[in-house]
């Protein structure tokens, strides 16, 4: 089965029925159907007659005849480095946990995102199942020769004409056949069917033995409804998080229902924002994520506010002065006028500057790439509001793939503009 790797925004997948290494028109049609069935944002996946381009989405898509891996841009343009960066961002933002032992097993050169998550899941779930399979009380209804629990009166009346000595009973039993284990079993079956790594399939098969009493079928509501975790099942929470990633966006991709497509997709704008927020939390406790304290306008008749302002990061200093950092997962370039900063972003930042009285500086923060000329510690662009020179809008880029460099940059911004 073919596996395609491309870079989000910067790379495209050629479509051709004559080129054996290209995406075929049939595969493009299947991808288009998958996007529609799963209600993905179609404007983020541009499918033309000649190519496919992904914007904002990163992750993994499995179709019937191929798989597609979309990775974030890194300076080396190497898929292995892109996978390292993406996995680190997912770990830092709470999507998954990776300990040193697991990290040592990951072959970033050969493993795509699905294989990496499958390795992490099978290693973790097998370790937990070996400590003891989780059982809970579930309600069963059966015909028994002796009364157990309570008699199901309605069922008993309906079967009286059968002249049987069996009694319809409803009772609770301590059993492993519950929704959490069903989700785990479904995930293991998917891994055994799709993984190309023998060690991962063997671990999945070993884990399946512990779940022998668990039903093979699972209600879709069990996947869509979050599981409640408490002290009895807390040790399975990380396994469940990984399972939900591996089962994400699973749906039929053909009307015949034989081919199954699935995807593990993340929006880079949200991931980038959460990652920068994580790093800033390490630097200062005085940060509010997605502040909701201000509306843009107040209706003079109803006194109700409209247009909620939600700056990504509101950082307050000891003197009460604040700065706002708003992350933008967009491509800017030094060859463009104003570096290509969008008009709507100017208006959004202007609203922050005028509505937040204690904010003197708003920073637009973009991911750095080779198309941005380095300017040392100076901003890429700098403006102030006419008549209000102490109200500034600055544009910076940040090397997000190197966490140490990113933290130093954020520390510098906070120190420079919180004075």
Q: 63-106 pLDDT, tens per residue?
A: 999 999 999 999 899 999 999 999 999 999 998 888 888 888 99
Q: What's the pTM?
A: 0.86
d(CA 203, CA 122): 6
Q: pLDDT band at 259, cuts 50/70/90? A: very low
Strands ordered across the beta sheet of 359-367: 287-289, 313-316, 322-327, 359-367, 388-398, 381-385
Percent residues over pLDDT 70 in the chain: 96
Does residue 290 contact residue 297 with C-beta atoms inside 8 Å? no
Q: Could you tell me where the beta strands, DSSP code E, fall in 41-153?
A: 45-47, 51-54, 57-62, 66-71, 136-144, 150-151
pLDDT tens-place string over residues 95-114: 888 888 888 899 999 999 99
d(CA 221, CA 332): 42
Q: pLDDT band at 255, cuts 50/70/90? A: very low
pLDDT tens-place string over residues 171-217: 887 888 888 999 999 999 999 999 999 999 999 999 999 999 998 87
Does residue 20 contact residue 27 with C-beta atoms inside 8 Å? no
pLDDT tens-place string over residues 273-326: 999 999 999 999 999 999 888 999 888 888 888 889 999 999 998 788 899 999
């Amino acid at each position: 089965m073919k596996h395609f790797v491309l870079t989000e925004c910067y790379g495209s997948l050629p479509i051709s029925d004559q080129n054996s290494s290209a995406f075929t028109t049939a595969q493009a049609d299947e991808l288009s159907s998958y996007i529609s069935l799963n209600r993905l944002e179609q404007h983020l996946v541009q499918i033309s007659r000649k190519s496919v381009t992904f914007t904002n989405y990163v992750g993994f898509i499995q179709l019937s005849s191929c798989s597609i891996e979309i990775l974030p841009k890194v300076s080396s343009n190497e898929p292995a480095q892109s996978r390292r960066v993406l996995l680190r961002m997912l770990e830092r933002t709470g999507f998954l946990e990776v300990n040193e032992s697991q990290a040592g097993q990951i072959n970033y050169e050969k493993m795509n995102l699905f294989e990496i998550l499958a390795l992490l899941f099978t290693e973790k779930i097998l370790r937990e199942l070996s400590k003891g399979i989780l059982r809970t009380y579930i309600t069963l209804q059966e015909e028994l020769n002796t009364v157990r629990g309570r008699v199901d009166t309605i069922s008993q009346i309906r079967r009286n004409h059968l002249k049987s000595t069996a009694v319809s009973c409803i009772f609770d039993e301590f059993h492993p056949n519950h929704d959490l284990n069903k989700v785990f079993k479904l995930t293991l079956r998917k891994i055994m069917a799709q993984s190309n790594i023998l060690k991962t399939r063997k671990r999945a098969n070993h884990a399946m033995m512990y779940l022998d009493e668990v039903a093979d079928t699972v209600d879709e509501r069990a996947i869509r409804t979050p599981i409640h975790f408490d002290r009895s099942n807390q040790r399975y929470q990380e396994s469940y998080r990984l399972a939900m990633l591996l089962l994400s966006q699973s749906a039929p991709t053909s009307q015949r229902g034989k081919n199954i497509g699935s995807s593990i997709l993340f929006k880079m704008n949200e991931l980038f924002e959460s990652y920068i927020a994580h790093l800033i939390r390490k630097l200062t406790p005085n940060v509010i994520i997605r502040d909701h304290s201000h509306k843009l306008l107040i209706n003079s008749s109803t006194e109700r506010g409209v247009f909620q302002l939600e700056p990504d990061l509101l950082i307050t200093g000891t003197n009460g002065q604040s700065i706002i950092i708003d992350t933008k997962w967009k491509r800017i370039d030094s060859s463009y006028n104003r570096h290509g900063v969008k008009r709507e972003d100017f208006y959004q930042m202007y609203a922050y500057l005028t509505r937040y009285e204690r904010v003197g500086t708003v920073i637009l923060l973009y991911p750095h790439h080779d198309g941005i000329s380095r300017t040392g510690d100076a901003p890429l662009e700098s403006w102030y509001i006419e008549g209000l020179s102490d109200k500034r809008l600055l544009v910076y880029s940040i090397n997000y793939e190197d966490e140490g460099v990113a933290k130093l940059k954020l520390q510098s911004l906070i120190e420079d503009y919180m004075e």
